[in-house]
Chains A and B, each alone.
Chain A
Amino acid sequence: MVDAAEVIVEIRELSKSYRRGGQSVPVLENISLTIHEGEFLALMGPSGSGKSTLLNLIAGLDQADSGSVIVGGVDITTLSETELADWRAGHVGFIFQFYNLIPVLTAFENVELPLILTSLSKKERRRHVETALQLVKLADRMDHYPRQLSGGQQQRVAIARAVVTDPTILVADEPTGDLDRGSAEEVLKLMERLSENLGKTIIMVTHDPRAARRAQSMKYLDKGVLANAPEATLAECF
């Protein structure tokens, strides 16, 4: 971990609970966490421990009950829904388990999608999209539709879409969860490169020890609180 780097995400006493049948079920309890610029963090933990919930709060998709999430100096828990939408468009790159590409748009158009929310000209957009697709080594597939691409290729297009706006943070929820081992390796290598060569900050939720091994640091979530990882998990990861 790069200690000298600036703090890019600061989570202070974050709590979140869901209401189920009139009863409040706590999902996250008093989470405090800092993530540095350029860090590649793996978030692990058993199913239902609240990993996705935490990631969604960092990415500005969900509302916390209490506590604050400060990303790049902005406390996003104070933003309204429309402000959050604008903030996400500029600051967050999303990588999903099931790629979530738009089936009726080509690879090029899928990557261009987040850029139409910016003020870039058509020409500048094209240049950005081409750069991003070259980065994931799919420049030759830009006119393909998602169904014409393999799972691994689709996930690489999704990564291009996530980085094309040059966001403050990249969030990935089980990015290799739906891929075979070979494709997963490729995607992980790519993420590693984004972190090491381009200095991207990445927060990745994963169950897969092989994925966690690529990250620089790991946090373990258990029943809504940060905990020490069990020995078995640690042994697998490092």
Chain B
Amino acid sequence: MRLLVAYSFRNLLTRRLTTFLTAAGMALVVFSFASIVMLAEGLQRTLVQTGSADNVVVIRKGAGTEVQSGIDRYQAAVVESDPEVAFGNDGRRLAARELVVLINIPRKGTNSPANLIIRGISKSSLVLRPQVKIVAGRAPKPGLTEVMVGQSVVKRFANTGLGSKMNFAQRSWDVVGIFDAGNTGFSSEIWGDVDQLMQAFRRSVYSSVVFKLRDASEFPRVKERLENDPRLTLEAKRETTYYLDQSAALAKFLRILGMSLTVVFSIGAIVGAMITMYAAVANRTAEIGTLRALGFKRSNILTAFLLESLILGFLGGMAGLCFASFLQFFTVSTTNFQTFSELAFGFALSPEIVYKAMGFSLIMGFAGGILPALRASRMNIIEALREA
């Protein structure tokens, strides 16, 4: 067995250049597959981490997202008075009326504008989002035209640093704080006082009410109560579900794109591997005859060549994954197609992606190697020996 592996491996080493080129072709396929799937994974992780399982987001029925939603003051008060809303240390209910609007401001460098989420927040908003940490300055004060800005926004948009003045909704807003919300969607938002923002944007309704459950397992009952309340036309989602739903379509799109691209590219890589392996079989015809004469069976020959091609696939897969894993150091931004706002997120590698990519490259190795290996195993001994 050891000798068999050494035999296959050294044959690959002997024709270094073709091995390298063939494995590189496979690596490219694995890389493109892994990178697209990692993108989907990263997007989903970012959006999932944005929410907390014991928070409930209430929006207008059928709105889908906060941007399209509207909740008037009366409805908001009804929601806040639900008996399952948790209380904070100060005895106040942990519920926040929030406003979400999109503004269009220029990106750094290119100056081309992009949509950003402005979130109007209430007193409890920060308590409800413990993942949001103010890293510089302070939170905007109620009643003032102040905002704080997420770190991804500061990195990617012009004139959003601490102390700058931002102009939107016909007012000038002081940036008084920078917050870090880790790897979540909040990092791509700007937060200000909800009442100030409602006035400035001339809105009369909130976008959502977010509250914390006293008991996370009570959610199904709370949802039923709120959604069947004749005074309300609202729907309630767990915050995690709310953000996961936003990512589902795009992540699915990316995964399907990744899969289809991979299937198309892999045909090229498989053909490449097949050409290499056919050439190897042709070059080693006499060797095959010799091995058969020595008593090795057709199945041994098949195994040896298939193993060679599987090693080729394995090397390609490892190389592709290795390069893809470097992508984790990059952050990309995309439009969240649910809200059409900019969202920053990273490539994320998961064990599942590693298994899939390696499985994929082994399948490529197998598909490329099986026909040449069959040819090798079917050779007539005497004719093969005559090739010497």
- Partner-B contacts on A (CB < 8 A): 56, 59, 61-62, 81-82, 85-90, 92, 94, 96-98, 100, 102-105, 109, 112-114, 116-117, 161
Contact = CB atoms under 8 A, between A and B. Distances in A.
A61 B381 contact: yes
Nearest to A117: B295
A86 B295 CA distance: 6
B388 interface: yes
Contacts of A113: 3, 291, 294
A109 B382 contact: no
A173 B291 CA distance: 16
Contact of A85 (B286, B296, B385): B296
Main secondary structure of the interface of B (DSSP, over half): helix
Contacts of B287: 100, 102-103
A112 B293 CA distance: 15
Contact of A116 (B3, B13, B293): B3
Given A61-B381, A62-B382, A104-B10, A89 B290 contact: no
Interface of B: 3-4, 6-7, 10-11, 13-14, 286-287, 289-298, 381-382, 385, 388
Contacts of B289: 100
Contacts of A96: 290, 385, 388
Quick one: which of A62, A113, A161 has the most chain B CB within 10 A? A113
Contact of B293 (A86, A88, A90): A88
A90 B14 CA distance: 31
Contacts of A103: 14, 287
Contacts of A61: 293, 381-382, 385
What are the nearest 3 A-B pairs in CB distance?
A89-B295, A104-B10, A100-B290
Contacts of A88: 293-295
A22 to B, nearest CB: 19
Given A62-B382, A100-B286, A104-B10, A112 B3 contact: yes
Contacts of A90: 295
Nearest to A82: B297
Contacts of A87: 295
Given A97-B388, A104-B13, 6 more contacts: A62-B381, A96-B290, A100-B287, A102-B290, A105-B7, A105-B10
Quick one: which of B10, B14, B294 has the most chain A CB within 10 A? B294
A82 B385 CA distance: 18
Contact of A94 (B3, B11, B293, B298): B293
Contact of A100 (B7, B10, B295, B388): B388
A88 B292 CA distance: 9
B292 A85 contact: yes
Quick one: which of B11, B13, B381 has the most chain A CB within 10 A? B381
A114 B295 CA distance: 7
A21 to B, nearest CB: 17
A47 B295 CA distance: 28
A177 B296 CA distance: 26
A109 B14 contact: no
A104 B295 CA distance: 19
A128 B11 CA distance: 26
B56 to A, nearest CB: 66
A49 to B, nearest CB: 17
Contact of A98 (B14, B286, B298): B286
A112 B6 CA distance: 13
A90 B294 CA distance: 9
Contacts of B295: 85-90, 114, 117
Quick one: which of B14, B286, B295 has the most chain A CB within 10 A? B295
A102 B335 CA distance: 59
A167 B381 CA distance: 20
Contacts of B382: 56, 61-62
B253 to A, nearest CB: 47
A24 to B, nearest CB: 17
Contacts of B10: 104-105
B296 to A, nearest CB: 7
A100 B382 CA distance: 13
Nearest to A109: B3
Contact of B297 (A85, A100, A102): A85
